[in-house]
Structure formats: structure tokens, C-alpha cells
Amino acid sequence: MLEGIYDGFLLLMNANTIMFIIVGVIAGLIIGIIPGLGGVIGLVLMLPFVYKMDPATGLIFLLAFHAVTCTGGSITAILLDVPGTLSNAATLIDGFPMSQKGEGDRAIGAALTSSMLGGIFGGVVLAVLIPLIRPIVLLFGSPEIFMMMLFGISFIAVLGRGSQIKGLISGSMGILLAFFGYATIAGVPRYSFGTLSLYDGFELIPIVLGLFALPEVLDLVTTGGTFAKVPPPAVKGKRFSLTAGTIQGIGDVFRHWMLFLRSSVIGTIIGIIPGVGGETAVYVAYGQAKQASKCKDEFGKGCIEGVIAPESANNAKEGGSLMPTLGFGIPGSTGMAILLGAFFIMGLEPGPLFLREHIDIVWSLVYTLIGANILGALICIVFAKQLSKVSFVRGHILAPLILICCLIGAYAPTNSIMDLMWMFVFGVIGYAMRRYNYNRPALVLGFVLGPEVERYLHLSLKAYGPLFFLKPIALILLILFIVVLAYNPIKQAWNRRRMTKGGLGYER
Amino acid sequence: MKGRIGFLIFLLIFPAIVYFHLPKYSFEVNLWPTVMGTVLLVLVVAQIFKEPRLKSEEQCISIDTGKAMEQRTFRQLIVPALWIIVTFPMVYILGFTVTIFLYSFLYIRLHKQSWIASIVIPAVTTGVVYFIFIMTLKFRLYEGLLFRFM
Amino acid sequence: MKRFVFVALALVLVFGLVFSGCGGSSVKMSPEEFYKGKTIRFIIPYGTGGGYDTWGRMIAPYIAKHTGAANAIPENISEGAGRVGQNMVYNDKNADGLMVALTGADEMAMSILLGNTEGMEFDWLKFAWLGRVTYEDAVLLANAKSPFTTIEGLVNAKTTIKAGGHEKLAAQLAGACLTASALNLNVKAILGYAGSKETTLALQRGEVDIATMSGASAVKLVGDEVKAVFIVGETRMPALPNVPTIFEAAKAANIPVTDEGAKFIKLWYTTRVLMRELFAPANTPADRVEFLRDAVEKMMNDPDFKAEVNKAKYETQYLRGDAAQKMAKETMDSLKSVNMAEFKKVLLEKYYK
């Protein structure tokens, strides 16, 4: 293992590779910032470039690209209430209200710092656990994954932003929508009305673009105004200097270092589990941040903790998801699936043999992950002031541009025009949800997790019978989750008892 | 309030679809959709009963921004909505590249921005899209029905 | 306002002319002349990252090379589990030879045999068959720690044998069900894993006991955690020379194989050799079809292509288009001697409790 540490470093130390890392990071940031073009589509678009490169350089480029897309995407989520990539979907919950209040640069500062440190955390954990990759991934079977997802989905109740019933309505809608389409557990398409377009059900990206981006575009078209509802702060100083807000945001991450650590751990663990995607990690991180926070009522209205948690998790998860990918050739996330394809095309084959024969490439990927995260965040911070100006651009210029990005973004994943139509349908639904105060992130959460919970429950029952939750790790997870979820209600009830007992004694 | 109730009634389509398909699928396939559909049904009905009792001032505060929302009438929204929806038939008939240029040009021009903006921005956008997708990545963007017949 | 409309219309016309190249003419020219400098659409009716996608992206540049086209651009159209892409290719109105698809005729054959033709807007035999790139044998794998690593272990099982897979008709479960029918095994088929990768993980973890995997992916898995039991087919795999076929293993251990089970396995095998076919639309002109077939043959013999295939640790099993098409037709004819209702039951119902 240790020989690889030095050799991996050597692989990076040539001008060609470094140049590709820089290009990869810049490309990743740009693709991340553009709504609709994040994550998987971005990687697919990069694949043709990679064929001509030699294996190590090509993989380093792809990883550098992929590692920073959710760093760039946080900016769009905060400034425009539209997630730049799917992993930024929880960042907008508190990020956008902050930018509405004029605190956009503070949110961006915090998001970028969390992203950078979270990415480093994930990379370091990956490095430390390289010898243990295989045993760890093998620990998580269907029962364990089911427990994790159940936990994730329970956060629908916690996501904040609005009334409880409406939140549950949104979440249930999301879950129901996900049931449309091919049901893996039985091999039949559900509710497809005989059409091929719905055979696979709805695609996530057109839904997210429709729900979040189109209502904003409609606003821009209607008023021609800007996103930010407060006038641009009169900022003095050099063009690339940091604003006071950005510096405050950077400091916030260090002030909330326990939160950062917890969120990064969550992100990494969820990344390690193959099958549970990155979208889950951000919601779980957000949810636990709210649970543990002393000012949980602020969540949803612009609380900095609600930005730090998901952004740490979504970068940390990349380090985690490299573990099953490299150790087993089993992708830890959809992005990793594409990366894996690139591995094969280059004649490399992740797996136990790979960990032994190409340990230098493994280490070079670890360094790339850490380096790309640092570089990406630094580039963004330097340009933070410029980037936050986006929310002050005239609506009538921004609207057609965002709309065009959405059109391409909805079409690109499946080359399907029908997905454009669904995007518009969800645009109408999204507008209504926004207008009537229904929680849109909850719908996305339900959509992402719903069918997976069903699937893993089915697999757990079939493989282990009804007592599957008694398997050691699953049981531990179950107990942990009950404790975490029940903690707050029990604490409140306990406090109430203490108050009445202690005899403040007023009647209600 | 009409709009709110209308939206809730729209949501009832989904449990309806689930129930309608009950005879078609096996128990296992039906199970969780039916559970969730029923949950949604109960919640929607509860909310429908709750609506008349809600204070109307509260409803105007957006949960996303914490501030009062603009109350827009249907008439105010119809033209902007059409500006957005028109892109779908445009892409379908003319394809992406033409739509990108034409739409951004027409939009910027007809919303009274400067002539420079209405030429430069579409040109740059189309150029960038063309360069990235078609020339460099050779990713095929839908060409539109019109050009299939030419 | 009117001025703007005029300008807009003028722009549409200009762009239309520029981007469509004023349409094609139907002057008769030889295939070589036709393909020179053109762009071929290479359709992959599946998602990115899978086996077909990897093969397709490897093949596309060589199709361009050997037809003289400027390039062949891969396009993933994964809607409808492949049907949308297949329908599109079959019904292509242009049918000028500039569209090629890599898809699985084995899956088409099985769908037809089992009567699952919903969504199929084509007659699979009427595609222009350009050639088979490869096919993959199916090997039954078992978790090394389970008692099922030998045929005796399977037959003498004291508990239910759990088999895992993604879809009923994909190799993982189909092979397990057919094995169960041939050897009278007590198998429980668990459907719902997200793909062969997830099934692999379940197999390595011991969550399922057996799964059938094809070709290259199977070879890579065999090791300490997973053992190969036998090939579910009639011939051995070159990459796993020491693994017997199910029939050889049964004979060596004196275990009877049911007649019907053996017939089913043979039938399944004859559909599996129709994998990874290159197709062109139904009405592509005959001379261009032949030209494309020649191009495919040249590609299969191209040393650069072979080197790339080796690098990815794949194998080719080339069969020229017309021969593949003939073989497909014979498969359909041979089904007359098989009890279809029972075949269907074995694959789709019997082991799914």
C-alpha cells in the first residue's frame, strides 16, 4: 500500500497532468454552475475528450472534473434557487433565502469552504481506508441499505419550509411519482399507459428543472427584475478581493466545525454504500443539522448551518463513493458509473487486483480528489464577488439564457424530446407549489428515495425473511435512527413536564 | 383560495390513477403505490378541509423567501407563460440550434432591450452551444421536424 | 413589429438552408462515394456505462474508418428499455445507410418467444443485419462459502437456493431458472437488484447464493469469493477452460438432467448467440447494406480494433450479417419442438415465490 503513496504523487507531477487537472476543474465548475448540466451529463460530455488521453491522465481529468461540479452548483443554488447539480438540491433551502436577504456572499463563502474541506475529508478517509475497502463495502447489504434509506426518507418531515401536512403531501407526491415506470421488483412497467415514454417513468432532471428553474424563469419574464430583492451592496475595494460577507461565511464553517465534521462523515458513509446516491446524502446531512441545531426554527429561512451541512456532505461523498468503485468495480453513485465506463475503455479494471497492481493510480486519484476540491473552491472564492453579480443581472437577459440551459439539460440525459414536455408540466406544478407554499425539496426527496425504499425492503424480505432487521448492522442502524428521530420530541416533552412540575404553574 | 383547492383536487389524480390500475397488477406491485396513494388522498382531503380556516395573510408569505409573495392573476401570467412554453414547439419543429438563436433574439428584442444585446447575446449563445456540443463533443442535438423533411 | 417578424422569418430560412444542406439528392452513386465525408449516427438503445455502451463507443470510430465516413457519432436512446431506439432505427424514413445501431437480438427473440411484444414496432428479421460482434456464454456462479459450489451441492441442497438478478429475462436469473428446471432444484429467484453489478455484490456478500453471469464479467469475478460451477450451455468457454458444461458435470456426477430442461437450455443458447448485433434500418438500399457488412468485417479484422478489444479484456465472435440473420430465422423455426407454455412458466413464474 505504502509504495503507492509516492508513485501516485509522481504521476501527478508533470506539466501535462497538472494542466489537465486545472482544465478539468474549470470545466467542472462551469458545468456545475449551469443549471441542468451537472453531474452525469457533464461526465458523459467529457468522455469523448478522454479517449485520446493515456489512462492515468484521463481518469485524473475526469475525477477532477467530477469532484467540483457540486462546488460550482452550490452557487446557482444559493443565488438562483435552482440546484446547479442534483447534489445541491438541499443547499437552496437555506442558501436562497440568505441571498434574498442580501447575505448571498456569506452563503457562498460558507458553501465553498464546506465543499473544499468536505472534499478533503472524503479524500483523506478514502486514503486511510484503502486497505479496508473490500470488507467495509461488503458489510452493507440490502437490509442495511434499507435502514439508511428509511432514515433518509423520514427527513421529509424535518425538511422545514412550511406546514407539516403540506410537506407530507409533497413528499408523498414525490414517492408516488417515482412509482410510475418500470418496477424492478416485478419486471413490469407501472402506470405507463402503454406508452414507451413513461415505460421508465419520469426522469429526475426534467422534474428538478421544471420544479425549481421554470418558476424562477417565469418570474423573470413577468417582471424583468433581478433575482436579488435587495440592491447590490456598495462594495469597495479591488475587483477580486473578498467581501466582508464572504469572509464571514468562511469563518462560519470553522465556528460550526462539529456540524461540518458530522456532515462530512454522513456524506462519506453514504458515498461508500453503493446504491444510495448522492442526493440522499445532502438531505440526511441537512436533516441532522436541523435536528441538532440550537436555532432550528431559523432553518428554511436562511440559516447558515443549512448551507454548511449539505455542502460538506456532497463533496465528502465523492471520496466515499470511490471506495466501492475502485475496490469492486461497483459504482458508488451514477457519476461513478460513468467513471467506471471510462476505466474499462482504458483497459483498466477496478477490483481487488487493481488495488494491488495499480495502487499508484489509486493514490493519484486520491491526490486529485483533494487537489481538485482545493483548487475549485479557491477559484470560486476569488470570483465570488463577480459570480454573485449574476443575481443582479437584468431578468430579460437572464431568462432566455436560463431557459435555454434547461432545454438542453432536460434533453441531454436521454435524447428525448418528451422529457422537455415533462419539464414544462412540472414547471406548472412547480409554480403552483411555490405559489401555494408546498415544499418542493420534499417532493424531490420522496421521488429519489421512494422506490428505492420499496426495492430494498423487497430484497431484504426475499433474501432474509421478515426478521431481516435483526442482522447486526441493520439493527444498530435501526436503533440509532430511532434514537436520533425521537430525541427532539422526547426532549420537548421532558422539558414540558419539568416546567409544569417545577411549578411555574400557569394554566393554559 | 380557489386556486389552492383546485391544486389539491389536481393532486387527487395520482391516487385515482393508482386505484384505477389496481386490478391490473399483482398484490406486490400494487402494495406500496396503494399505500402512498391512500396516504396522499387522506392528506389532501385533510388539507382541503383545513384551507377555509387558514388566515389569508399567512398564505401570502412565501416559505422559500420568508417574505410576501406577489399575487399575480392568471391574466398577468398568461403571456409570460406562453413565452416560456413556446420553446417546446419551437424545438420540436425547428430543432435546438435554430430555436436557441431565434428565441433569444426575439425575446430580447421584443422585451425592449438594446439592439446590441439582442444580436450579440443570441450569437454568442448559439456559437457557444454549437461549438461545445456539435463541433467539439459531437453530441447530436435534436434537429427539428422541419429539417428532417428538407 | 412587422419588421421584426420579417427579420425573424428571414433568419429561419437562412438557418434552415445552412444547417440542412439543402437536402439530399437521390442521384445514384457508389457506396464508397456516398459514405465519403458523411456522418453516421450510431444508435445505442441503452443507457451510458453498460456493456452495449462500452462496445458501441469502441466500435463507432472503426465503422467510420472502414466506410470512409468522416465520423460515426454514438447516441444513447435508452427510453422504453431499448424499444424506442430500436423502433426509431427500424422506421427511419431516410434509410440512406447513415444510421447504424448496436443492439441485442437475443432479447428480441426471447420477447417474441414469450409473447412480450408490447411496444415492438418492428419485424426483427426485416432489419438489415450487418453482423454480430460477439456473444457471451453464461456461467453459473456460486458464493464460495455456500455449499453450492459443485453440482452435487446444488442437487443435495438442504435449504432453498437463492438466486439473484436484475430482470427475469436477463442472464442472471434466466440461467438460474433453467438450471433449476434441468436439475430439479429448489431455487428461489430474487428479482430487483439494480443491475449485474449489484447482483455481483449480493453474491459476494452471500445475500444470494447463485447467479448466472455472462462472458467477460463472469471471468473477472471468479476467485476467492465466487466460484464457477458450470456453463449453462453446450460448449465450454475458452476463457474458463476448466469449467465443465452443465451436461458434462451432470454426467460426471451421475445426476440426471430432465429432457425438457435440456431442451430449454438449448433453446436459450440459440437465442443468446444473437447478442450484440449491428443493425441498419429496414429499407436501407441493398448495395449500402453489403458495403456496411464489408466494413464490419474489415473492422473485426482490423489489428487496432482487436488490440482495443484485448485491452478491455473482451472477446469477439464475429458472424457476418446475412449468416446472423439466417440463424435468427432458424431459431424461430426450431421453437416448434419446444413446449412454449412450460418454457414461459419456468422463466417467468415457477421459481418466483
Which tens digits make up the pLDDT trace of C135-194? Answer: 888 899 999 888 898 888 888 888 899 999 888 777 888 889 999 988 989 999 998 887
With CA atoms as reference, the chain C residue closest to B103 would be: C8
Blockwise average pLDDT, block size 10, chain C, 353 residues:
59 54 56 87 80 87 90 81 85 84 88 81 89 88 90 88 85 88 90 81 88 80 85 84 89 89 86 89 89 92 90 83 88 77 84 82
Q: What is the pLDDT of residue C233?
A: 86
Rg value, chain A, Cα: 22
Q: Confirm if A159 and A167 have CB atoms less than 8 A apart.
A: yes
Asked if C201's CB is within 8 angstroms of A137's CB, the reply is yes
Q: What is the pLDDT of residue C21?
A: 44
Q: Which of B44, B80, B104 is opposite residue A400, by nearest beta carbon? A: B104
Q: What is the pLDDT of residue A118?
A: 94
Eight-state DSSP code of residue B22: G
Question: Residues 6 or more apart from A403 whose CB is under 8 A from it?
Answer: A217, B84, B87, B103
Taking contacts as CB-CB distances below 8 angstroms, the residues of chain B near C16 are 98, 146-147, 150
Q: What is the pLDDT of residue A388?
A: 62
Place of cell 417513468: A201
Q: Could you tell me which residues of chain C have a Cβ less than 8 Å from any Cβ in chain A?
A: 48-49, 53-54, 57-58, 75-81, 83-84, 87, 118-119, 162, 164, 166-168, 188, 190-194, 197-198, 200-202, 204-205, 207-208, 220, 223, 311-313
Long-range contacts (CB closer than 8 Å, 24 or more residues apart) made by A285-290: A285/A90, A285/A309, A285/A310, A285/A312, A285/A313, A286/A90, A286/A93, A286/A155, A286/A159, A286/A310, A287/A152, A287/A154, A287/A155, A287/A158, A287/A159, A288/A262, A288/A263, A288/A484, A289/A259, A289/A262, A289/A263, A290/A158, A290/A159, A290/A160
Q: What is the pLDDT of residue C20?
A: 46
Taking contacts as CB-CB distances below 8 angstroms, the residues of chain A near B87 are 403, 407
Partners of C165 in the β-ladder: C191
Cell of C335: 421453437
Cell of C1: 413589429
Partners of C138 in the β-ladder: C214
Q: Which of B3, B39, B139 is opposite residue A45, by nearest beta carbon? A: B139
Asked if C191's CB is within 8 angstroms of A196's CB, the reply is no
Percent of chain B with pLDDT over 70: 81
Which 62-101 residues of chain A touch chain B by CB within 8 A?
Answer: 81, 96-97, 100-101
CA distance A184 to C192: 5
Asked if C16's CB is within 8 angstroms of B106's CB, the reply is no
Asked if C191's CB is within 8 angstroms of A186's CB, the reply is yes
Q: What is the pLDDT of residue A427?
A: 93
For chain A, list the contacting chains (3+ Cβ pairs, <8 Å).
B, C
Largest CA distance in chain B: 63
Asked if B96's CB is within 8 angstroms of A411's CB, the reply is yes
Q: Confirm if A51 and A280 have CB atoms less than 8 A apart.
A: no
CA distance A416 to A410: 8
* Residue numbers in chain A where pLDDT is lower than 50: 235-237, 505-508
| Residue to substitute from C9, C12, C13, C15, interface B, most B β-carbons within 10 A | C15
Eight-state DSSP code of residue B140: P
Q: What is the pLDDT of residue C332?
A: 80
End-to-end Cα, chain C, rounded Å: 69
Asked if B150's CB is within 8 angstroms of C20's CB, the reply is yes
Q: What is the pLDDT of residue C297?
A: 92
Taking contacts as CB-CB distances below 8 angstroms, the residues of chain B near A434 are 62, 64
End-to-end Cα, chain A, rounded Å: 67
With CA atoms as reference, the chain B residue closest to A166 would be: B47
Closest CA to A144 of C200, C159, C202, C225: C202
CB pairs under 8 A between B and C: 37
Q: What is the pLDDT of residue C25?
A: 47
Check pLDDT > 70 for residue B135.
no
Question: Residues 6 or more apart from A249 whose CB is under 8 A from it?
Answer: A105, A106, A107, A108, A109, A110, A111, A112, A113, A304
Distance from the Cα of A185 to chain C's closest Cα (Å) equals 4
Asked if A414's CB is within 8 angstroms of C223's CB, the reply is no
Check pLDDT > 50 for residue B150.
no
Distance from the Cα of B29 to chain A's closest Cα (Å) equals 7
Cell of A374: 482545493
Eight-state DSSP code of residue C243: P
Q: Which of B109, B138, B150 is opposite residue C16, by nearest beta carbon? A: B150
Q: What is the pLDDT of residue B63?
A: 62
CA distance A252 to A117: 13
| Residue to substitute from C3, C6, C19, interface B, most B β-carbons within 10 A | C19
CA distances for A407 relative to A400, A431, B86, C4, angstroms: 10, 17, 12, 24
CA distance A83 to A89: 5
